[in-house]
Amino acid sequence: MSRDAILHSIRRGLKRGPLPADQRAMLDGRLATHPRHLIPARSRVPRPEQVALFIHNVEKEFGSVDRVADAAEIPGAVADYLAAQNLAPRFVMAPNPELRALPWADKPLLEFEARRAEASDAVSVQHGYAAIAETGTLMLPSDPARPTTLNILAETEIVVLRTSRIHGAYEEAWDTLRRERTDPVSGGFMPRNVMLVTGPSRSADIEQTLELGAHGPRRLHIILLDDDPAAMPAA
C-alpha cells in the first residue's frame, strides 16, 4: 500500500523505525499544548489602539469601516451604505440570531432573505465571528448560521462585527475558536471552513499590477458595533 511505502521511505531516510512511545508522547504533548511562537509587537497595545489598528489595516487593504454605538443603528447603517454606493436596498443575510434580532422594520425599504448566497445576490450581510487587528483580518468560521457562500458570491459584502471580538493576533482568535466551539462531527473545534478575510478580492496576475474585483467581493464594508467599553476611543 502506498501509505506504508511512503511512511517506510520517510523512516528509512530518518534512519529509524516508527517513533518509540515516549517520543510520540512528547509530540502528542506539543499538539495538545500547541505552543505559540513569536507574536509581533504591533498588536500588543491597549484596547482602543488595537481597534484603531484594526480599522487602519482594513482601510489600508481597501476595505471600509463604519462605527455605530448601538445595535439599533445597524439597519440604518446598512441602508445608508447601500444608498451611498448606488446599490439597490436588497441583500441576502446570514441566518444568525444576532442579525435577525436587529430592528430591520425601522427601515422598511430594505428587502432581505436569511439564507445561503446564490449567484444572483448582489449584496450579502455576514456575521463577523472575530477579527485580528495585526493585519485587519476577519475570521469567518462556517456554521449553519454563517454560510460560506456569503463571503464569496456577492459583489458587495457587509460584515457586522462587535469591537469586543477584535483580537490582537491570530493566535488569540484561534484560542477563542478553540474555547467556544465544539464540532458535531469531529468532536474537535474546527468547523468545515474557516475563512480569514483581509480586504476585498483582487489580482495582480496582469503585469503584476494590483487590480481590485477578481472573483470574490469587489467591496468589503465592516459595520463595527461598539460593545466594548474598554475599547472606546479616548474622549
Considering only residues 46 to 75 of the shown chain, the ones binding another protein according to CB under 8 A are 57, 61
- Candidates 28-36, 67-75, 79-87, 96-104; binding stretch for another protein (CB under 8 A): 28-36
146-162 core/surface letters (b: 16 or more CB in 10 A; e: else): bbbbbbebbbbbbbbbb
Residue with cell 425599504: 109
DSSP string, 88-133: -SEEEE---HHHHTS-GGGSTT-EEEES---TT-SEEEEE--EEET
CB of 40 or CB of 103, closer to another protein: 40
Which whole-number Å values give the CA distances from 114 to 61, 201, 216, 225, in the listed order? 28, 24, 20, 20
CB of 5 or CB of 101, closer to another protein: 5
Q: Does position 193 bind another protein by CB under 8 A?
A: yes
Residue 90 — left, alpha, or beta (φ > 0 → left; ψ -120 to 50 → alpha)? beta
What part of residues 198-227 is at the interface with another protein (CB under 8 A)?
A: 198-209, 211-217
The binding track of 144-173 with respect to another protein, each residue x by CB under 8 A or -, is: x--xxx-xxx----------------xx--
> Applying CB under 8 A, which of residues 35, 97, 108, 229 lies at the interface with another protein?
35
CB of 142 or CB of 164, closer to another protein: 142
CB of 75 or CB of 141, closer to another protein: 141
